[in-house]
Amino acid sequence: MKRALLALAAVLFAASLLLAWLALRSGSVRELPPPPAVPAAAVQALLQATLPDSEGGAQSLSQWRGRILVVNYWATWCPPCRDEMPGFSKLHSRYAARGVQFVGIAIDEAAKVRDFARATPVSYPLLVADQPFAETARALGNEPLAMPYTVVIDREGKLRAAVLGRVHEDALVGLLEGLVSPR
């Protein structure tokens, strides 16, 4: 009897671990949490950065100053990163005329980003950064430096959202609608 109870407990424990893993693996953030408290200098450091695009041309994030900026740290080897990009692309197309700019910052190699963009076109710029640049994500609240990591910065340069993990489109729509609507 004791052995059967232990076996049942082990099976239930393993099943709960499996369910938790599946929920984390397939889930996406559907409601944006409040942004972390970060120094304004961290946001300004990102906005002042100049990074190459996948073709090697220099792109300054300051060119989008005054727009609502959705910055997504990602990598070609990251499945959740790749999964959320078609949704981001749709949202960028939907909101670009209303002052929203999506930008992908790949912590990756330019050739891999170029190959990815050819196979999976997106409607927003893909920039390339090295691992040391990922520290800007840590300064913006991404302590583990995991990906994907998405931040939303309003027209005034204030951090409005920071999300670790795959972001569901609906979660961004609510925030973007509030930011683009006249007050």
> Residues 29, 51, 81, 128: which is the catalytic one?
81
For residue 1, the model assigns a pLDDT of: 65
For residue 27, the model assigns a pLDDT of: 54
Residue 15 lies in a domain: no
Residue 9 lies in a domain: no
Read off the pLDDT of each residue in 46-57 and give the average, rounded to a whole number. 94
User: Which amino acid, residue 7?
Assistant: A
Residue 6 lies in a domain: no
Which tens digit of pLDDT belongs to each residue from 126-156?
999 998 899 999 999 999 999 999 999 999 9
User: In total, how many domains does the chain have?
Assistant: 1
Q: What radius of gyration do the chain's Cα atoms show?
A: 19
Domain hosting 54: range is 32-180
> Residues 78, 85, 107, 171: which is the catalytic one?
78
What pTM value is reported for the model?
Answer: 0.82
Residue 176 lies in a domain: yes
Verify whether residue 180 is a known catalytic residue. no
Verify whether residue 62 is a known catalytic residue. no
Report the CATH number at residue 130: 3.40.30.10
Listed in sequence order, the DSSP H helices in 36-167 are 40-47, 79-95, 110-119, 135-139
